[in-house]
């Protein structure tokens, strides 16, 4: 095989390169009230003030003991921020607000059924509930600082309450997205070595009360088979005191949290002062292999970074009502529903269900009722709402000062609709580019300082210094009009510390490619490889094109193509599986799955459905392929590698290019017939 022959296909390769757009300026009214109003922020966070600049974020927090070293690089590239410092994340998000703001709403929990009351949980009530749960975790399960615990919770107030209770004790929480299957939860229990699982009996989605308890049974069973015994399963109840789902409790294993809590009424637990570099949580994400990786996030650095960026980029003030529609099971929810907003004493909205249930006006009714003034969502939802009824938001009386888009590139025309119709030309928009690994924002405009540019994330946020390299490590400069691999030159406090239990994978995936000296302790030698293709315009604004690896973002949910392929390969009849990204009008990108069968099996619709169902069971519904194409063989190189590039071109109805070097070029026409 020729050395630079492209075999794979990636999001970046199917990306549409849209035109550079004109600036859109924030209103005077926004700027007047903004937390950051002038350009000097960029000077304060310039590289020549690195790493000292980040004390500005750390100083937003309460520390039991201040740090000795701002950035300890002795174990490069595992950076230690604020080393020697002692801090508690729960104290910062709850206790410290009580003196002045105990009666302010911390969490507005909005149940999906519209006839159920919104629950307004004050900081005082949050404090009481978090303490009781912390007491239960400590005294009933025996969890202590440094232990891990898996949470498999949906979007109810019990999720942040449980997270904060863990943080209070220094217990490392690993929240698994509620929509993931029992199998996916089991894998994460095993990898994190959790002995306790915290879940809920049921929750509402799309008008149905989902039986979530059955996932816990599957997870515990499969984890045990894979060598990790779960001793206790704690089960919240959607309606306290009532059994909402048919799946029975397992004697000696399952416990209702609400029953246990009766023994901990009014109990107080002192927050445990944790070393700044102690892990706060794990967040599993997809990579280029079938095995998800546990991104390990720190306590002090992470909290400083999400607090600082929530203040400067999200422009959160304590009096704001802030609604981020992400799921707390993803990093966006951890950083910008829970830890960032609560650390700043804002009121954060948690909505249980489907954003368009029972109709596309739901979001705007919630925003009206709660006086939401900061709104945060992903392009997928914006596209869907625009398609359902582009004029609908005009009929509602919500008013946002600030809106965020995150997770995928947003098309300029979709951006404009968001601005004009959802934001009523009043709100600023920040297009925030970042990742599970990065803890917080990497690129975005500072909303009161820099103009917006539709379709472009913006420059690095203060303190983040991006650089684009070509494959050979040459810098691609601003305005060159070429795309390359976007990297960050410098460490930052929100960055993950390592992959849980797999430092080698951490180094090789994120730092090896452009490392200048593998023995160096100097951060300048270790640029962070984000795994996205990007282009830098002349003005220093970055446009993100998509992943350069085997990861795809479906509706802003990150999936590894290898994860889907390995699930398909567990179906007995399947010989080979290949997933390629396909552009989709609403979801951005969706997976297409190509399958070749073992000899003797017939391609049937039933078999295609069986494979699709297996993927949902193994990963979750979000991974369901758009189509399962059963083909007689895959296009292959002479060395036997599947040419995903060709499949990607076929699925995206693009030119397949030169296929003469394939081992089996005749297959291309055959697949074309099947897929057209
Ligand atoms: O490809 C980029 C895309 O989402 C990936 C990270 O996904 P995840 O770890 O799940 O985190 C999502 C929420 C931060 C990135 O590698 N991505 C994220 N934000 C943007 C984006 N692509 C374009 N524009 C964005 N604003």
Q: What pLDDT does 10 receive?
A: 81
- To test the ligand 1 pocket, which listed residue (435, 445, 452, 583) has its Cβ within 8 A of the most ligand atoms? 435
Q: Sheet holding 321-324: strands in order across?
A: 119-122, 105-110, 347-351, 321-324, 374-377, 402-406, 428-432
d(CA 158, CA 403): 26
- The residue among 493, 530, 534 whose CA lies nearest residue 514 is 530
What confidence tens digit (pLDDT) does each residue in 523-534 have? 999 999 999 999
Instruction: Give the C-alpha separation, 325 to 337, whole Å.
Output: 8
Q: Which residue out of 553, 556, 581 has the highest number of ligand 1 atoms within 8 Å of its CB and is therefore the one to mutate?
A: 553
How much is the pTM? 0.93
Is 299 in a helix, a strand, or coil? coil
Nearest atom in ligand 1 to the alpha carbon of residue 553 is 4
Tokens representing residue 385 in the block: 């709402």
Ligand 1 atom closest to the CA of 530, numbered from 1: 16
Residues 475-517 pLDDT 10s? 999 999 889 999 999 999 999 999 999 999 999 999 999 999 9
Please report the atom of ligand 1 found closest to the CA of residue 546: 1
Cα–Cα distance, 348 to 358 (Å, whole number): 22
Tell me the pLDDT of the chain averaged across its residues. Answer: 95
The pLDDT of residue 290 is above 80: no
Smallest CA separation from ligand 1 atom 17, residue: 407
Segment 264-279 shows an average pLDDT of 98
- Gap between the Cα atoms of 521 and 73, Å rounded: 6
* pLDDT attached to residue 7: 53
The verdict on the CB of residue 377 being under 6 Å from ligand 1 is: no
Cβ of 558 below 6 Å from ligand 1: yes
Ligand 1 pocket check: which of 327, 433, 550, 561 to mutate, most ligand atoms within 8 Å of Cβ?
433
Pocket test for ligand 1, best of 13, 286, 558 (most atoms within 8 A of CB): 558
Q: Going by C-beta distance under 8 Å and a sequence separation of 6 or more, which residues neighbour residue 606? A: none
pLDDT, mean of residues 406-433: 96
Tens-digit pLDDT profile for residues 425-441: 999 999 999 999 999 99
Question: How many C-beta neighbours within 10 Å does residue 505 have?
Answer: 16
Residue 632's pLDDT is what?
92
474 CA from centroid of ligand 1 (Å): 24
Residue 432 Cβ inside 6 Å of ligand 1? The answer reads yes
**Of 12 and 112, the one with more pLDDT:** 112
Residue 421 predicted with pLDDT over 60: yes
Tens digit of each residue's pLDDT (9 = 90 or more) over 338-385? 999 999 999 999 999 999 999 999 999 999 999 999 999 999 999 999
- What is the distance in A from the centroid of ligand 1 to the CA of 657? 29
The rounded distance, in Å, linking the Cα atoms of 76 and 79 is 6
User: Atom 10, ligand 1: which residue's CA is nearest?
Assistant: 558
Could you tell me the CA-to-CA distances from 165 to 59, 94, 117, 129, 236 in Å, in that order? 23, 10, 25, 9, 14
What lies within 8 Å, CB to CB, of 211 at 6+ separation is 201, 202, 245, 246, 247
Q: What is the pLDDT of residues 104-151, one digit of tens each?
A: 999 999 999 999 999 999 999 999 999 999 999 999 999 999 999 999
Residue 237 in tokens: 């109840």
> How many angstroms from the chain centroid is the CA of residue 142?
30
Decide: 443 in ligand 1 pocket, CB within 6 A.
Answer: no
Examine the pLDDT at 6 and tell me if it is beyond 70.
no
What is the rounded distance in angstroms from the CA atom of residue 335 to the CA atom of residue 330?
A: 9
Residue 185: its pLDDT value, please? 97
């Amino acid at each position: 095989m020729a050395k630079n022959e492209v075999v794979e296909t990636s999001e970046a390769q199917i990306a549409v390169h849209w035109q550079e757009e004109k600036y859109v300026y924030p209103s005077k009214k926004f700027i007047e009230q903004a937390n950051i109003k002038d350009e000097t922020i960029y000077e304060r966070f310039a590289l020549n003030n690195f790493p000292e600049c980040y004390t500005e974020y750390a100083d937003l927090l309460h520390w039991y003991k201040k740090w000795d070293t701002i950035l300890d690089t002795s174990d490069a590239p595992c950076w230690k921020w604020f080393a020697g410092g002692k801090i508690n994340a729960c104290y910062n998000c709850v206790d410290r607000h009580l003196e002045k703001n105990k009666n302010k709403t911390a969490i507005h929990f909005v149940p999906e059924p519209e006839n159920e009351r919104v629950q307004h949980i004050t900081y005082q009530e949050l404090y009481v509930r978090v303490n009781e749960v912390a007491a239960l975790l400590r005294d009933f399960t025996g969890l202590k600082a440094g232990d891990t615990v898996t949470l498999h919770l949906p979007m109810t107030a019990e999720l942040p309450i449980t997270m904060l209770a863990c943080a209070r004790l220094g217990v490392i929480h690993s929240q698994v997205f509620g929509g993931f299957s029992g199998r996916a939860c089991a894998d994460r229990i095993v990898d994190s070595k959790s002995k306790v699982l915290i879940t809920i009996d049921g929750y509402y989605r799309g008008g149905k009360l989902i039986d979530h308890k059955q996932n816990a049974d599957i997870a515990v069973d499969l984890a045990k088979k894979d060598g990790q015994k779960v001793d206790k399963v704690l089960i919240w109840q959607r309606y306290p005191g009532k059994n909402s789902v048919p799946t029975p409790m397992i004697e000696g294993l399952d416990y209702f949290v609400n029953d246990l809590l009766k023994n901990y009424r009014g109990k107080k637990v002192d927050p445990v002062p944790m070393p700044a570099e102690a892990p706060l949580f794990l967040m599993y994400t997809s990579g280029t292999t079938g095995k998800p990786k546990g991104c390990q996030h720190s306590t002090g650095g992470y909290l400083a970074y999400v607090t600082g960026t929530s203040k400067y980029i999200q422009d959160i003030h304590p009096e704001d009502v802030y609604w981020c529609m992400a799921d707390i099971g993803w990093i966006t929810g951890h950083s910008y529903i829970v830890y960032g907003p609560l650390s700043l004493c804002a009121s954060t909205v948690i909505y249980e269900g489907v954003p368009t249930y029972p109709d596309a006006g739901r979001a705007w009714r919630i925003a009206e009722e709660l006086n939401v003034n900061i709104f945060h969502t992903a392009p997928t939802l914006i596209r869907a709402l625009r398609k359902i009824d582009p004029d609908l938001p005009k009929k509602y009386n919500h008013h946002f000062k600030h809106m965020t888009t995150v997770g995928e590139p947003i098309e300029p025309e979709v951006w404009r609709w968001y601005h004009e119709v959802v934001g009523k030309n009043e709100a600023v928009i920040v297009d925030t580019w970042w990742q599970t690994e990065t803890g917080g924002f990497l690129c975005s405009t500072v909303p009161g300082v820099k103009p917006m540019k539709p379709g472009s994330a913006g420059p690095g946020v203060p303190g983040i210094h991006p650089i684009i390299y070509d494959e050979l490590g040459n810098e691609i400069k601003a305005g060159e009009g070429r795309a390359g691999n976007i990297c960050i030159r410098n460490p930052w406090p929100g960055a993950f510390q390592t992959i849980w239990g797999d430092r080698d994978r951490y180094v090789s995936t994120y730092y090896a490619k452009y490392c200048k000296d593998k023995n160096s302790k100097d951060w300048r030698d270790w640029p962070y490889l984000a795994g996205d293709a990007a282009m830098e315009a002349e003005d220093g604004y970055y446009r993100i094109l998509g992943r350069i690896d085997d990861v795809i973002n479906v509706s802003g949910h990150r999936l590894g193509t290898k994860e889907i392929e390995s699930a398909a390969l567990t179906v007995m009849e399947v010989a080979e599986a290949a997933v390629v990204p396909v552009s989709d009008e609403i979801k951005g990108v969706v997976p297409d799955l190509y399958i070749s069968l073992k000899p003797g099996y017939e391609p049937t619709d039933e078999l295609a459905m069986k494979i699709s169902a297996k993927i949902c069971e193994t990963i979750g519904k979000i991974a369901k392929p758009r189509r399962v194409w059963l083909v007689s063989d895959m296009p292959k190189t002479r060395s036997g590698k599947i040419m995903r590039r060709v499949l990607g071109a076929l699925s995206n109805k693009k030119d397949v290019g030169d296929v003469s070097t394939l081992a089996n070029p005749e297959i291309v026409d055959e697949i074309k017939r099947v897929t057209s």
